[in-house]
Amino acid sequence: MTELLSSIAPAAGILCAVWFVASLLKRRSPRLPPGPPRKFLIGNLYDIPTHYEWLEYEKISKQYGDIISLEALGQRIIVMSNDEDVKELFTTRGSIYAGRARGTMAQMVGDGVVMMQPGKEFRTIRRLMSTFMGPQAVKHITEVQETAIREVLLRLMREPQDPLRPLQRMFGAIVLRLSFGYEVKEDNDYFIQLAETSISAFLHAFQPGWAVDTWPILRYLPSWLPFAKFKRDAAEWSEIIETGLRIPWEWTKSRIAAGDAIPSWASDLMGGEDEWIGAMAMRDLYSAGVDSTMTASLTFLLAMALHPDIQTRAQRDVDLVTGGERLPTIADRDQLPYLDAIIKELLRWHSIVNLALPHVATEDDTLRGYDIPKGTIVMANVWTILHDPKKYPDPMSFKPERFMPGAEGENEDPSKYAFGFGPRICPGRHLADATLFLVLAITLATCNVSDAVDEYGVPLKADSLEYLSGEVSRPPRFRCKIEPRSEHSRTLLSESD
């Protein structure tokens, strides 16, 4: 027996050595893109920005190149500032990068369309949203949008005011009417408050920095412990999000039962096999659509007040189409290329989402000789791409003419970056685009926008605007004067048809 063991031992030793070397080779450090030096244990923890992230990543990119990497507490992050790299990964290889980064805290709070992982439910939601909000479908729902826009402009005409709340109510009313057949009657509407509270709960849960995201085992702590407040927060936010899903859906069901329901997307989905997924989709339409379209509309009002020459040219183009005798409609769009140019410049000048929502590599990949290991968070710095002077000459200036025929520069359509990429592209982009066009067209046909001042009454200037930090970057709070171009303009807005 001893002799047998003696003969086996060398062979076993060799096998162990081979296994050890193979393991080392397999676990070799990946060749990641360059980035700031990593510190012991914490890596780049203090290099990862939490405010105005797109500007901070742009600074790092200027030092290390247009594809950079960071690592903190074991999580790798890659940020791209080159349009070709973004298209290659998120569009050409989109299926590999369709994953989302969801920390443990977010998982404890609940799921949603934006952060849902690829799979059957994700595909079902995308299909449902495309059915209701595809390019052809949105052409048949403009009456709801036009009515809401007329109402908000008449309200804004009464006195100079901050347009944020009126616009928030308007876009909320559009989404709730289309989704649930619900009509908003007042500013402090319960359903709007419910939707806003649900959005806030989601955003809190997805913020970086939760200890439980770094050490997931903490989720099993008893919630009564003094240092387990995150568990109590998660339970509270989960209930808020569930309420935001359930209440509007049940309200629509009750109206159907009573026989007085207004046709809506929710009513079309009820009773089907995808009802629960449909309820989630309807809830998340508010968070996905209201904030971004409202922000673009705020930027439009601000841009018109600060650039009266652009406003005048656009008004002239609208008048040539309508003769000043009617309001413009979505059918007029092909005859109004300058308005389309303004929309593109709004999306570029101050991007709605400056740092695209994080994608996650679902398998190992490479780019330009660099490794992208499975599980790496990959982001596109949309701000840097849309302010590249080689693509967009004089990028800090508001110049819609850059998107007109014969303009200098490449001037690629910024909507290719503003609404996401590949399998994660925003399913509501056609609805947002159509609504934004109608906001511009009807406002320009009937109103003069002027005298933009900050919340302290100081006149605003185009070259000194400082947009707010956040996932959706809004302009600073401001007031402006919105006056009817004539009494006939006011009459056009007041007409019911």
Residue 208: the pLDDT is 65
Q: Say whether 112-353+387-494 and 30-108+354-386 share the same fold.
A: no
Residue 462: the pLDDT is 86
Amino acid at site 347 = L
Residue 333: the pLDDT is 95
Token digits for 233? 């927060």
> How far is residue 391's CA from residue 370's CA, in Å, rounded to a whole number?
25
pLDDT tens-digit readout, 316-326: 999 999 999 99
> How far is residue 285's CA from residue 273's CA, in Å, rounded to a whole number?
20
Into which CATH architecture does domain 112-353+387-494 fall? Orthogonal Bundle (1.10)
Tell me the Ramachandran region of residue 234: left when phi exceeds 0, alpha when psi lies from -120 to 50, beta otherwise. Answer: alpha
Q: Tell me which fold the domain 30-108+354-386 belongs to.
A: 3.30.43
Residue 435: the pLDDT is 94
> How far is residue 22's CA from residue 29's CA, in Å, rounded to a whole number?
14
Domain boundaries, the chain: 30-108+354-386, 112-353+387-494
Residue 2: the pLDDT is 38
pLDDT tens-digit readout, 372-415: 999 999 999 999 999 999 999 999 999 999 999 887 777 899 99
> How far is residue 237's CA from residue 233's CA, in Å, rounded to a whole number?
6
447 known ligand binder: no
Residue 138: the pLDDT is 82
Residue by residue, pLDDT tens for the chain (497 residues) are 334 334 434 443 444 444 434 443 444 578 999 999 999 888 888 898 888 999 999 999 999 999 999 998 788 999 999 999 999 999 999 999 998 887 888 888 877 777 778 888 888 888 888 888 888 888 888 899 999 999 999 999 988 889 998 998 899 899 999 999 999 988 888 998 888 888 888 777 877 668 888 788 989 999 999 888 999 999 999 999 888 888 999 999 999 999 999 998 889 888 777 788 888 888 777 766 678 899 999 999 999 999 999 999 999 999 999 999 999 999 999 999 999 999 999 999 998 889 998 899 999 999 999 999 999 999 999 999 999 999 999 999 999 999 998 877 778 999 999 988 988 888 888 889 999 999 999 999 999 999 999 989 999 998 888 898 888 888 989 999 999 999 999 999 998 54
Residue 496: the pLDDT is 54
Instruction: Note the Cα 142 to chain centre separation in Å.
Output: 22
Residue 21: the pLDDT is 40
Question: Length of the chain in residues, anyone?
Answer: 497
Cα dihedral 232, 234, 239, 243 in deg (nearest 10): 150
> How far is residue 47's CA from residue 372's CA, in Å, rounded to a whole number?
20
Q: Which residue has the tokens 């742009």?
A: 58
Burial per residue of 50-72, b for 16 or more beta-carbon CB atoms within 10 angstroms, e otherwise = eebbbebbbebbeebebbbbbbb
> How far is residue 131's CA from residue 371's CA, in Å, rounded to a whole number?
38
Q: Which residue has the tokens 């809190």?
A: 204
Residue 250: the pLDDT is 93
pTM: 0.88
Helices (H), 27-52: none
